[in-house]
């Protein structure tokens, strides 16, 4: 690793700009709920966080060459897992949250062993089937509450900290911080996998499956890994959703939600594992608000947006900034953004 | 079709187009199952094993069409070849323990050495698709070498190269052999085949029609017929 | 008991033929311009609603309504192809882009239909009232007419695709567009023609089922079973589409009667999943690489 030389200003600037960026975003994110007055906007931010993570999971499986249509289904599995654990077996929500991720991961593993063996198109169809069957299963069997769903899912139990009043999950703000925490955890876990040998294997499979195989990379194993990991993360989000919303209904987790998840990812740019989904879901969630698009017109807006994107900007919004999809060193994209910000015209004093 | 390769031997495999040479490689490699018969490697039956398992056993190959990880750098390409060489456990690698990081350094160094060995040193950060054709073919061989193979299958490594590049590649192949690696070489450039190979096998329509030392093959009537077509009577 | 079974068969046949038409049309658009046209169900809906508007609002005769039910979706299909899909045909990742655009289109059309036509289901007075009775079996005349119409169109399609020049041109383009263009066929025109034909079929299906079954704003969801028919029968295989459609129709008719639609659907999907797993190309199709 290159040592930080005292006189290497370029390197120091690079490091400083990264740290500065991190610090600013940290403060901004932490302060957000205080700046924003209405709980509705806090809710929107929470949804942005959740949707961007769901979009990240889509990109994870996409990186191994497989398009999955089951994203919302695993989201649902996690939601129902937490719901049943908490309502039927009186498990604490704090235990049920990680449990929902684990359970979804196990389900994904069992299903994945069968599904991941296939070629890309078969995988697509099978995950579409999976998506439909999951919703059907949730709706048909009474243990899941049928098509009406299950309501009155309790909120997470209050956190008791020493010297401070307990944090109760009544208003939306505590949920916001919980989402931020989960977000950080998910991004940390995913980046670890991406940066390590597993990420290199995924990249190899994405670029040339044949070559990867002849270099000893077990395609099935790494695709399965991506699939299970993505699904477990989606399940975690499902668990959060269940205790945040307080109710689960099968129709929430249908294939249309999966399409929306894809849209968040495509909007931002599928070349970007983290930044793309965040930007995509941010813009998608907030722009309709700004434009005051009503619920009735929203699908038309979304549909048109998707069509225009695919026609004119297939690499997503981030491609406008001509950021490299595969930065040659970590932080290169961040540097480019900072440079772009610095380069915008400013009045000379 | 029946042949064998000894250690440190360069075996040439020639034949007219469509004779089945690449198919043969695909069978050995694990991409295709054989219609009949067996493939034995170091005494072990590897017929029908999946390609990545066969790679783990020490069989590596290059492809007829330049096959690389186009969008990443030369160094990253070769580094991917070291996938099988990790000795640390999965957990150590995920948690980025010092031993895992040290191993990554070590493998990176090895990748750089192979680069230098093959003459690609100065290009290490260049994106693969920007390389010249000749360099790309060489990179393909680097990738195959990164897996520490015992047997290397080279599928037409000299295609589309100018005489200078051909010289370089021929020299490199000889150096690879001197490291103790056996090579099966499929090539159309007869001169190179004659100068490099210890033995030659000739295929036509999926069948072996001749086998022997280069001198014998040159004189073999069946081989000439296969390439030029039967003489008009 | 046998009477009920015959009844179920007729019902299954009626619904099944609708599925067959839709599956064939969907397959056409999938194989030739390579669009995974998930918006297809909305054209079916459009055909049904046009028929309804013509007959219930403007009191037009059935035949005229049916003609419009075919023309309006066909025209809309042509417009969307020209505006949207034509641009995508020569780009990278064409299949994914087509599919994504189709999803967007579906959203727009679905919501637009909801806004224009309202949320309640509609019905039409029967065009061919009356019941046939023979051998103790009761069938409504309109179901028989539906079956006959559908069969006629299906056969007509077969004829067009197999015997006419334009049909051959279409099939050539689905096979190898570049080679076909060397033969003087303009692939883009064929794509447009296929879209028009496909959407016309969809509108027709909506038109003939309108007097027989209920019309609702969520009718477009029929595309989901149709997708699975294609998967089951094999993408690119017309025979597969036909067989699949009939099987689906029968299964739903029998399943609803004997088991109850929820469980029946789950079982059906599980079976489809198993079949796809063992034969990714479907029952009849060749496993086509869709270029993902």
C231·A133 Cβ contact <8 A? no
pLDDT score recorded for residue C285: 57
What is the average per-residue pLDDT within A227-254? 92
Interface test with A, best of C104, C231, C281 (most A CBs within 10 A): C104
The residue in chain C having the minimum alpha-carbon distance to the alpha carbon of residue A118 is C277
Would you state the pLDDT for residue C283?
67
Global confidence as pTM: 0.82
Q: In 3D, which of A268, A261, A223, A225 has the Cα closest to residue A241? A: A261
* Out of A197, A207, A218, closest to residue B52 by CB: A218
**pLDDT-based confidence at residue A294 (cuts at 50, 70, 90):** confident
pLDDT per residue of chain C (292 residues) written in tens, 0 to 9? 667 777 777 777 888 888 888 988 898 888 888 888 999 999 999 999 988 888 887 887 888 888 999 999 999 999 999 999 888 887 777 777 888 899 899 989 999 988 888 777 777 766 666 666 666 666 777 777 778 888 888 888 888 877 787 777 777 777 776 677 777 777 788 889 889 999 999 999 998 888 777 788 888 888 888 888 887 777 767 777 788 888 888 877 777 776 666 677 777 778 777 777 777 666 665 544 433 3
Task: Find the CB nearest A306 among C103, C110, C265.
Answer: C103
Q: Evaluate if residue B164 carries a pLDDT over 70.
A: yes
Would you say residue A147 has pLDDT above 90?
Answer: no
Touching C (3+ Cβ pairs <8 A), the chains are A
When pLDDT is cut at 50, 70 and 90, the band that residue A269 belongs to is confident
Q: Provide the CB-side half-sphere exposure for A263 (13 A, CA).
A: 27
CB spacing of A218 vs B84 below 8 angstroms: no
Q: Do C289 and A310 touch (CB under 8 A)?
A: no
Chain C residues whose CB is inside 8 A of the A122 CB are 276-277, 280
> Mean per-residue pLDDT for A214-218?
88
Q: Of the spans B3-12, B123-132, C59-68, which averages the highest pLDDT?
A: C59-68
Q: Which of B50, B72, B125 sits opposite A326 (nearest CB)?
A: B72
Q: What 3-state DSSP class applies to C50?
A: helix
User: B with C: 3 or more CB pairs under 8 Å?
Assistant: no
Confidence of residue A336 (pLDDT cuts 50, 70, 90): low
Tell me which chains share at least 3 CB pairs under 8 Å with chain B.
Answer: A
| Averaged confidence pLDDT in chain A | 81
Q: How confident is the model at residue A258 (pLDDT cuts 50, 70, 90)?
A: very high
Q: Do B94 and A196 touch (CB under 8 A)?
A: yes
pLDDT on residue C195: 92
pLDDT of residue A310: 85
CA distance A67 to chain C (A): 8
Q: Flag whether pLDDT at A171 surpasses 80.
A: no
Rounded Cα gap, residues C269 and C266, in angstroms: 5
C287 compared with B210, residue with greater pLDDT = B210
Query: B10 at the A interface (CB within 8 A)?
Result: no
Residues of A in contact with C102 (CB under 8 A): none
ipTM field: 0.83
Which of A124, A280, A293, A299 to probe the C interface (max C CBs under 10 A)? A299
Judge whether C267 is closer than 8 Å to chain A, CB to CB.
no
Compare CB distances from B52 to A192, A203, A217 and report the shortest one's residue. A217
Whether A109 has a pLDDT exceeding 90, the answer reads yes
Query: Angle of helix C40-52 relative to helix C94-117, nearest 10 degrees?
Result: 30
Average pLDDT over residues A317-327: 60
Q: Are the Cβ atoms of B80 and A200 closer than 8 angstroms?
A: yes
Q: Which of A152-156, A204-208, C35-39 has the lowest mean pLDDT?
A: A152-156
Supply the pLDDT for residue C267.
78
Q: How many CB pairs under 8 A join A and C?
A: 106
Closest-CA distance, C100 to chain A, in angstroms, reads 7
* Per-residue pLDDT tens over the stretch A29-59: 777 766 666 778 888 889 999 999 999 999 9
pLDDT at C137: 64
Range ranked top by mean pLDDT from A69-78, A110-119, B41-50, B120-129? A69-78
Q: Is residue B149 predicted with pLDDT exceeding 80? A: yes
Tell me: the pLDDT tens digits for A50-104? 999 999 999 999 888 888 999 999 999 999 999 999 888 888 888 889 999 999 9
3-state SS, one letter per residue, for chain A: CCCCCCCCHHHHHHHHHHHHHHHHHHHHHHHHHHHCCCHHHHHHHHHHHHHHHHHHHHHHHHCCCCCCCCHHHHHHHHHHHHHHHHHCCCCCHHHHHHHHHHHHHHHHHHHHHHHCCCCHHHHHHHHHHHHHHHHHHHHHCHHHCHHHCECCCCCCCCECCCCCCCECCCCHHHHHHHHHHHHHHHHHHHHHHHHCHHHHHHHHHHHCHHHHHHCCCCHHHHHHHHHHHHHHHHHHHHHHHHHHHCCECHHHHCHHHHHHHHHHHHHHCCCCCCHHHHHHHHHHHHHHHHCCCCCCCHHHHHHHHHHHHHHHCCCCHHHHHCCCCCCCCCCHHHHHHHHHHHHCCCCCC
């Amino acid at each position: 690793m290159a040592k930080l030389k005292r006189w290497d200003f370029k390197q120091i600037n690079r490091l400083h700009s990264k740290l500065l960026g991190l610090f600013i975003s940290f403060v901004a994110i932490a302060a957000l709920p205080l700046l924003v007055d209405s709980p509705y906007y806090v809710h929107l931010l929470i949804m942005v966080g959740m949707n961007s993570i769901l979009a990240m999971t889509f990109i994870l499986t996409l990186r191994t060459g497989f398009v999955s249509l089951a994203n919302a289904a695993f989201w649902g599995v996690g939601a129902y897992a937490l719901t049943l654990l908490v309502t039927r077996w009186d498990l604490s929500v704090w235990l049920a949250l990680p449990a929902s991720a684990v359970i979804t991961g196990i389900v994904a593993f069992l299903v994945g062993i069968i599904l991941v063996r296939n070629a890309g198109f078969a995988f697509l169809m099978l995950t579409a089937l999976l998506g439909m069957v999951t919703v059907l299963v949730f709706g048909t069997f009474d243990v899941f509450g049928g098509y009406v769903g299950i309501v009155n899912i309790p909120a997470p139990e209050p956190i008791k900290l020493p010297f401070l009043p307990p944090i109760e999950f009544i208003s939306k703000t505590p949920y916001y911080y919980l989402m931020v925490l989960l977000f950080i955890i998910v991004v940390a876990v995913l980046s670890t996998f991406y940066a390590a040998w597993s990420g290199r294997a995924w990249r190899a499979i994405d670029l040339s499956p044949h070559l990867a195989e002849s270099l000893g990379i077990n395609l099935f194993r790494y695709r399965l890994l991506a699939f299970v990991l993505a699904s477990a993360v989606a399940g975690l989000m499902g668990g959060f959703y269940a205790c945040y919303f307080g109710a689960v209904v099968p129709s929430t987790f249908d294939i249309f939600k999966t399409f929306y998840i894809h849209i968040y990812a495509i909007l931002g740019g599928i070349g970007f594992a983290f930044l793309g989904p965040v930007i995509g879901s941010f813009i998608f969630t907030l722009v309709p608000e700004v434009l005051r698009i009503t619920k009735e017109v929203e699908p038309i807006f979304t549909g048109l947006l998707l069509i225009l994107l695919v026609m004119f900007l297939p690499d997503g919004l981030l491609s406008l900034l001509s950021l490299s999809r595969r930065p040659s060193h970590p932080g290169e994209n961040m540097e480019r953004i900072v440079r772009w910000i610095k380069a915008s015209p400013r009045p000379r004093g | 079709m029946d042949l064998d390769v000894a250690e440190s031997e360069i075996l040439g495999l020639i034949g007219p187009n469509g004779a089945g040479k690449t198919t043969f490689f695909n069978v050995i490699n694990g991409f295709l199952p054989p219609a009949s018969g067996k493939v034995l490697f170091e005494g072990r039956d590897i017929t029908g094993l999946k390609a990545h398992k066969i790679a783990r056993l020490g069989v590596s190959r290059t492809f007829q069409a330049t096959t690389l990880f186009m969008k990443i750098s030369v160094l990253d390409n070769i580094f991917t070849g070291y996938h099988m060489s990790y000795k640390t456990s999965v957990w150590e690698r995920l948690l980025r323990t010092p031993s895992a990081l040290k191993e990554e350094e070590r493998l990176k160094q090895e990748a750089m050495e192979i680069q230098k060995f093959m003459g690609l040193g100065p290009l290490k950060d260049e994106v693969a698709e920007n390389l010249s054709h000749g360099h790309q073919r060489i990179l393909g061989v680097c990738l195959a070498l990164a897996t520490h193979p015992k047997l290397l299958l080279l599928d037409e490594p000299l295609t589309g190269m100018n005489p200078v590049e051909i010289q370089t590649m021929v020299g490199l192949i000889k150096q690879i052999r001197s490291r103790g690696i056996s090579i099966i070489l499929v090539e159309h450039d007869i001169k190179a085949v004659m100068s490099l190979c210890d033995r030659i096998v000739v295929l036509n329509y999926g069948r072996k029609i001749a086998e022997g030392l280069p001198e014998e093959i040159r004189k073999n009537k069946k081989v000439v017929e296969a390439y030029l077509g039967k003489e008009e009577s | 008991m046998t009477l009920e079974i015959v009844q179920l068969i007729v019902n299954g046949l009626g619904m099944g033929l609708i599925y067959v038409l839709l599956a064939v049309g969907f397959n056409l658009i999938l194989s030739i311009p390579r669009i995974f046209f998930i918006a297809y169900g909305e054209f079916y809906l459009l055909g049904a609603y046009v028929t309804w508007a013509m007959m219930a609002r403007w009191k037009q005769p059935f035949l005229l309504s049916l003609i419009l039910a075919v023309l309006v979706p066909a025209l809309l299909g042509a417009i969307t192809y020209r505006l949207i899909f034509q641009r995508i045909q020569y780009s990278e990742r064409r299949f994914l882009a087509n599919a994504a655009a189709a999803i967007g289109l579906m959203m727009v059309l679905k919501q637009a239909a909801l806004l224009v036509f309202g949320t309640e289901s509609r019905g039409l007075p029967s065009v061919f009232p009356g019941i046939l009775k023979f051998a103790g079996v009761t069938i409504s005349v309109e179901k028989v007419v539906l079956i006959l119409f559908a069969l006629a169109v299906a056969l007509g399609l077969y004829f067009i695709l197999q015997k006419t020049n334009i049909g051959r041109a279409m099939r050539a383009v689905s096979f190898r567009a570049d080679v076909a263009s060397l033969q003087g066929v303009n692939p883009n025109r064929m794509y447009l023609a296929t879209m028009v034909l496909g959407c016309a079929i969809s509108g027709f299906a909506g038109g003939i089922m309108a007097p027989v079954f209920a019309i609702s704003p969520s009718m477009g969801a029929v595309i989901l079973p149709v997708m699975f028919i294609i998967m089951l029968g094999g993408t690119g295989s017309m025979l597969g589409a036909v067989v699949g459609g009939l099987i689906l129709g029968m299964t739903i008719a029998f399943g609803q009667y004997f088991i109850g639609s929820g469980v029946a659907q789950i079982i059906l999907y599980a079976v489809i999943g198993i079949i796809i797993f063992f034969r990714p190309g479907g029952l009849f199709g060749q496993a086509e690489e869709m270029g993902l």
